[in-house]
Amino acid sequence: MRRRVGYPCCVPLFSRKTTDVSAATTGAEPEAASEIVRASRSHTPGKGKATPKRTEAQRRKAEPPPANRREAMKRSREKMRSERAESMAGMKAGDERFLLPRDKGPERRLVRDYVDSRRTVGTWFFGGAFLIFFLIQVRDPRIALAANIIWLLLALAVIVDSILICRKIKKLIKANYPKTTQRMGSLYMYAVMRGITFRRMRMPNPQVKIGDPVVPTKA
């Protein structure tokens, strides 16, 4: 009888190759993953791209907790002070986020820009009234009479100038914001009160110079 000759070396050979390939593949995967992680960590954004900033919550987490109550109160006061300073700076710059309700809206910004772009008689109203008040106190009747006449002329000039401002504002609002929900009477009063305020004391601060064209913003 012939004995069947087996090939015991074949199975181990192929199985060893398969095992080696799978082991090499398995070992390559962690190396590739580590290379990707290493590349992502070392990558920096190119020029011209904004660097991502930490959020406010992350910044707060980065700060160590206060050691005692006094330090906590000090931090609270500093935070309130910085917020007030930011709010005041935004209000002066005319930032809508920090404006009072009376100053918000593109219509009121247009009113401010128009009043600030021209010289108004109203800016001399309080200064003239203060001067006339002292002139009236003089016992000389001629000086008192002249002061009264100047007072009447100044008041008349302010009224006429305010009427002209209101008429111009009405045209600007109708032309640029025909569907506005703002009351015209409220806009007129807003313009008159800003017109009789000294330019340096106006809030928000004037964003245009005298003589500059008025450019309406989008609603």
Q: What is the mean pLDDT of residues 10-20?
A: 45
Contact 56, 79 (CB under 8 A): no
The per-residue pLDDT of the chain, averaged, comes to 78
Token pair for residue 192?
A: 């008159």
Distance CA 215, CA 219 (A): 13
Contact 109, 169 (CB under 8 A): no
Question: Nearest 5 degrees, angle CA 203-CA 109-CA 123?
Answer: 50
| Phi-psi region at 48: left, alpha or beta (left = phi > 0; alpha = psi -120 to 50) | left
Residue 138, φ and ψ in degrees, nearest 5: -70, 140
Percent of the chain with pLDDT over 90: 38
Distance CA 149, CA 9 (A): 127
Higher pLDDT, 25 or 117: 117
Going from the C-alpha of 127 to that of each of 17, 114, 143, 156, 173, the distances in angstroms are: 101, 22, 18, 15, 31
Q: What does the pLDDT read at residue 88?
A: 87
Residue type, 15: S
Of the given ranges (136-140, 183-187, 203-207), which has the lowest mean pLDDT? Answer: 136-140
Q: What does the pLDDT read at residue 152?
A: 93
SS (H, E, C) 97-122: CCCCHHHCCHHHHHHHHHHHCCCCHH
Cis before 30 (ω within 30): no
Summarize pLDDT for 106-125 with one digit per residue, the tens: 999 999 999 999 999 988 88
Contact 91, 99 (CB under 8 A): yes
Q: How many residues does the chain have?
A: 219
Q: What is the mean pLDDT of residues 186-214?
A: 93
